[in-house]
Amino acid sequence: SGIDYTVVVTDDNDASTDVSNADFRITQPVVVTSPNGGESWANLSWHNITWTGGTGDAKVELYKGLVNLGTLADHVASPFSWSINQAMANDYTVKVTDYVDLSNDVSNSNFTITQYVHVGAPNVPDVRWILGTQYNITWTDNVPGPVKIELYYNGLFHSELAASVADGTNTFAWTIPVNHLMGNLFKVRISSIADPSIVDMSDFNFRIDAATNTYAITMIQPSDAGIVWVKGSSYLISWVDNLNSPVRIDLITPTSLVNIAPSVEGSTYGWTIDAGIPAATNYKIMVTSTTDNSVLGESEFDFEITATPPQTNIIIEQPTLPGLYWLRGSSYLISWTDNVPNNVVDIVLCNSGGTELATLKSGAEGSTWVWTIPALTYAPGDYRIKVKYGGISGSSIFTFHIGDSPTGAYINLLQPNVDGITWLENHDYLISWEDNIPGTVDIYYYRTSNLTEVPIATDVAGSTYVWSIPAMTDGVDYFVKIYSHADPTIAGDSDFDFAIQGFLPGGVVTVNSPNGGETWVKGNEYLISWDDNFAENVKIELVNYSTVTTTLIANNVEGSTYVWTIPNNGSYPAGIQYTVRVTSVETNTVTDESNAYFTIVDPASVAVYPNPADREFTVKFNAQSNEEYTVVLVDRFNMPVMTRTINTENTKELQVQTSFLPVGVYFMTLTSGNTKHTEKILIQH
């Protein structure tokens, strides 16, 4: 096929010739490929009608049996996306006719339009749902019987939200758990239980995220000064975070970024350094949330990547301090730093003079190992730890003692240990003690009416523990008892009993945020927080002292925080005399307000283009804008790179030069007396 054919005619006698005056086209005939028979397409869904051949200028018609139901599309090319809205039947076909070469084709056999399920929400672009918040999943269907609701992430099944929702309900209220996976590739899938082939999924991905950016990533390794890694060797990258989502790992210098891993769950990653990585001394590792680029952590100090291994060394970090006492039967962390290939070493127990006694662990990877000391294998005495790699080793600087509980060992409970204490169920309280025992402790509670000891926590280090009291039997005869984990004969308990109750009426509430001086922008989310000492829920109200009006924000709220999205409408006019009031739902007199006024402002109405920007971008204000704005541009480390002031009563546009800025993500904040607005700007040269 082609569009540049001509014909030449030559007379055999006089050799005269002629050629076509213009090119003509040879095409492949139209052949319908979908639907071509046997398909089952749900009503009120979208499907592609496809064909091959033709010129790309075709008409698509729908037939039911021999009856032409009309033209679905005119002058279109394959594929054509068809929004189905037809009666359910099993004798449909499609006919495609090319307008130029007049070839046509019909589905080889019938296809079926079936009953349907159609997801209503979430089903539009840019939906963002917040952890700990309730949302309605909605749908329409004409299937008899219940439906099942499932959650998918990046095309894969994640979890079942509802096993069976009754026929005719069409709404399911889902409260997202606070520890739910975060991300921006979620979809809802709804299917008929009677016929699982009748199914629909959200047309667009939606995001599940935290209400406010309270998340953080801290690099653990490599982060110390003086680290040298060798090309071709494997090393452990480690970090701590409080995210519910995977992270991305990059190798960075001040002028470059190389992705190591696009999506990693957990807090460690084994990296084998590619031989093609250039040798340099100014590398760092950066770990970034896959759902929020502003949440990241990176190495505190530069490290070196080299092709030549440095001189091998091993340094014991623990146990190496003087005076350590390790109990037989307890577990302890042995740690070290090294630059040996592949980080694989042997751990050896030595006597006080350094003579090797036993190999505790062969082929230990990384830089830590937990040793559970046998109860009887090693006699009480002074020892050292040695970590070996071939002929290279490192040993404890000072000896440590392995033994049993020392003479005169004790545990004294400090809290709860005064008369008259009452603790509430579903609240957190500090248990504290003092002791002279090495090792950890186990914490229990018991009652004089029931002496059975119930564990609160085991193997606890330090001298404090926060107990989240669950729902339990009310009583005034509770005691806490603490045992040495290694030697249960050493224990201490409360001198006085204390009460545990489910409800303590009255009490005190104190508003923490907003508490005066804040500026909150309509359309954005903010955290309202308070402290109280009662178990009942609270009511949250907005007080406008300019109009002497009170508006309910939320009722019957649990806990001590609430995320409020300020509606961008006339119900909350911009103003400077707002407070938040929090009141017990049981006792109206138990209430508190912000200590001073805070401000609610309208969002700035601006357009920023182009974005991404190269050499410059333009900030354009709307025609009604007449305020003076301070414009601040910061980089991803929140370092200001530009500050300008513009009076929009006279000037509606501001050009910002970016040719001097490095490639990356920036944030621009526009602030006036009544509004505040933030835009993310991408710089790409």
The pTM score is: 0.33
Q: Which positions ≥6 away from 529 have C-beta within 8 Å? A: 511, 512, 513, 560, 561, 562
Q: Which positions ≥6 away from 502 have C-beta within 8 Å? A: 424, 425, 426, 471, 474, 535
User: What was the pLDDT predicted at 6?
Assistant: 85
The domain made up of 26-114 has a fold known as Immunoglobulin-like (2.60.40)
Residue 478's nearest CA partner among 559, 410, 413 is: 413
User: What was the pLDDT predicted at 342?
Assistant: 67
User: What was the pLDDT predicted at 278?
Assistant: 92
CATH 2.60.40.2300 fits 314-403, yes or no: yes
DSSP class of 675: B
C-alpha angle 274/280/284, rounded to 5°? 80
- The residue ranges of the chain whose pLDDT is under 70 are 1-2, 212-214, 308-310, 341-342, 503-506, 604, 624, 674
Q: Distance between CA atoms of 274 and 280, rounded to whole angstroms?
A: 14
User: What was the pLDDT predicted at 295?
Assistant: 86
Handedness of CA 302, 307, 310, 315 (dihedral sign): positive
DSSP class of 66: T
Residue 198's identity, in one-letter code, is I
Q: Are 416 and 477 in contact (CB under 8 A)?
A: no
* pLDDT tens by residue, 280-321: 999 999 999 888 888 889 999 999 998 866 677 899 989 988
> What CATH class does 117-209 carry?
mainly beta
User: What was the pLDDT predicted at 506?
Assistant: 54
Q: Are 464 and 431 in contact (CB under 8 A)?
A: yes
Residue extents of the structural domains in the chain: 26-114, 117-209, 217-306, 314-403, 411-501, 509-601, 606-683
Q: Is there a shared CATH topology between the 509-601 domain and the 606-683 domain?
A: yes
CATH 3.40.190.10 fits 509-601, yes or no: no
User: What was the pLDDT predicted at 425?
Assistant: 84
3-state helix, strand, coil in the chain (%, to 5): 0, 55, 45
Domain 411-501, CATH among 3.90.1640.10, 3.30.390.10, 3.40.50.2300, 2.60.40.10: 2.60.40.10
CATH 2.60.40.3080 fits 606-683, yes or no: yes
Q: Which positions ≥6 away from 477 have C-beta within 8 Å? A: 447, 448, 449, 497
- Take residue 170 and report the two structure tokens written for it: 């069409």
Q: What is the CATH number of domain 217-306?
A: 2.60.40.2840
DSSP 469-515: --S---EEEEEEEEEESS-TT-EEE-SS-EEEES---S--EEEEES-
* Cα dihedral: 386, 390, 392, 394 (round 10): -10
User: What was the pLDDT predicted at 539?
Assistant: 96
DSSP class of 535: S
